[in-house]
Amino acid sequence: FALGEIVIHLPGRIVWPRMSAEDRERVAMLRRAIEHHEIGHVRVAEAVRDALNATGDPIVSSDLFAFGAAAHARGREGFARFTREEHEYDEVTSHGRRQHAAPGELAGLDSVLLCS
């Protein structure tokens, strides 16, 4: 299993009229929190990839079609695991709003901007 190209999109700017220095700092913290959450998705994908590759269970078949079917089945199972673990990450973190609840290095600032 391998990861393909990964692109993370973040808001370029978050602004509103008459932002104070405190507002700008809170927005900077929000952007860092969003980035941390999105990088968490990459870390989840890397962990799944590494776990799947660590099994060392080769596909062996004397029939090309059976080999292809087994390889496709393994790919579907791997992708299903990735999808499941990514959804679990988003459930635990509420898509970053509760990032502090994530395990280990995935924990971080919540992606919430409180306006006063």
Contacts of 52 (CB under 8 A, 6+ apart): 1, 78, 81
What interhelical angle do 21-53 and 64-93 show, nearest 10? 150
Note the pLDDT of residue 116: 65
Note the pLDDT of residue 114: 81
pLDDT in tens, the chain (116 residues): 889 899 998 888 899 999 999 999 999 999 999 999 999 999 999 999 999 999 878 888 889 999 999 999 999 999 999 999 999 999 999 999 999 999 999 999 999 988 76
The Cα 97–Cα 33 span in angstroms is 9
Q: What are phi and psi of 31, to 5 degrees?
A: -60, -40
Note the pLDDT of residue 55: 85
Pick the closest to residue 3 from 38, 30, 36, 43 (CA basis).
Answer: 43
The Cα 74–Cα 97 span in angstroms is 34
The Cα 69–Cα 97 span in angstroms is 41
Note the pLDDT of residue 81: 95
